[in-house]
């Protein structure tokens, strides 16, 4: 049986490390939760703040590419409400991994750490 994001309980989410305001070393974050949907969107979540119900992590979709930062539970719920292939699913086989070791994140992390010289 596949687990949907909406199947996660608040206690499931609080197992992620507490949300921090300090993210100085992009790529050193540990990704504890991976979500995906049928529209080739991915959420790689590293931290969670239960008070503001926000995550810190990396987010990928085909139209906007990769980004990192804060993402709210409310933002994820917008995709859940669309249903079908839009609904975020939990990657139940995910093993916590350092962000820089996640293949799909490597190009983005390299660009952030060492941006291309445009001069």
Q: Could you read off the pLDDT of 14-72 as tens digits, one per residue?
A: 999 999 877 677 888 999 999 999 999 999 999 999 999 999 999 998 777 899 999 99
> Token pair for residue 115?
């941006």
According to the model, what pLDDT value does residue 119 have?
59
This prediction's pTM: 0.90
User: How far is it, in rounded angstroms, from Cα 1 to Cα 92?
Assistant: 10
Cα three-residue angle 83-86-70, rounded to 5 degrees: 115
pLDDT at 29: 92
75 has pLDDT over 90: yes
Higher-confidence residue of 110 and 87: namely: 87
Residue 117 has pLDDT above 70, yes or no: no
> In angstroms, what is the C-alpha Rg of the chain?
14
Q: What is the pLDDT of residues 90-116, one digit of tens each?
A: 999 999 999 999 998 998 888 887 766
Query: Position of tokens 């991976």?
Result: 34
């Amino acid at each position: 049986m596949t687990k949907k994001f909406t199947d996660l309980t608040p206690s499931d989410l609080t197992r992620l490390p507490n949300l921090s305001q300090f993210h100085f070393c992009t790529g050193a974050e540990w990704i504890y939760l991976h979500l995906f949907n049928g529209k080739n969107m991915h959420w790689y979540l590293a931290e969670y703040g239960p008070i503001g119900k926000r995550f810190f992590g990396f987010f990928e979709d085909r139209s906007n590419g990769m980004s990192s930062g804060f993402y709210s539970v409310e933002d994820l719920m917008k995709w859940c409400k669309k249903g079908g292939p839009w609904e975020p699913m939990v990657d139940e086989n995910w093993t916590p991994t350092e962000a820089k070791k996640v293949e799909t994140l490597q190009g983005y992390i390299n660009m952030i750490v060492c941006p291309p010289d445009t001069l």
